[in-house]
Amino acid sequence: MTIQENIKETATLAKDYVSQEFEVAKLKTAYQITAMTSSIAKKTIMGLALTLAILFLSISGAFWLGSIFDNTALGFLLTGSFYLILLCILFFLRKHLENYVVRKVTKKYF
């Protein structure tokens, strides 16, 4: 085998290698996109179910508090106040929550 034939064979092998690596990269990308999409869809559905559960529990809790205080409006006011206090707590902890989420996402996908 001559040097020229060796160079041609090496070039062909390198071309095949690059082509296969490109296919592997495409497959890995497709897998990551699919995994991320299904994870987002699953978490969205779970979040929607949780939101509905919290909504109905809040309404029933507000009516229950209203029956205790003999004032339905007061029950709803107390329930709304609870969520306002929770929102303030989450607002002050937003940086910690953001860092936590970033760490979890980067750990899972990278």
- pTM exceeds 0.85: no
pLDDT in tens, 20-30: 999 999 999 99
Other Cβ atoms closer than 10 A to 75: 20
Residue 109 has pLDDT above 70, yes or no: no
Domain limits for position 29 = 3-109
CA max distance for the chain: 100
In this structure, are residues 65 and 78 in contact, taking their beta carbons and an 8 Å threshold?
yes
CA gap 20, 89 in Å, rounded: 52
pLDDT in tens, 29-62: 999 899 999 999 999 999 999 999 999 999 999 9
Q: Give pLDDT, residue 81.
A: 97
Work out how many domains the chain is built from and give that number.
1
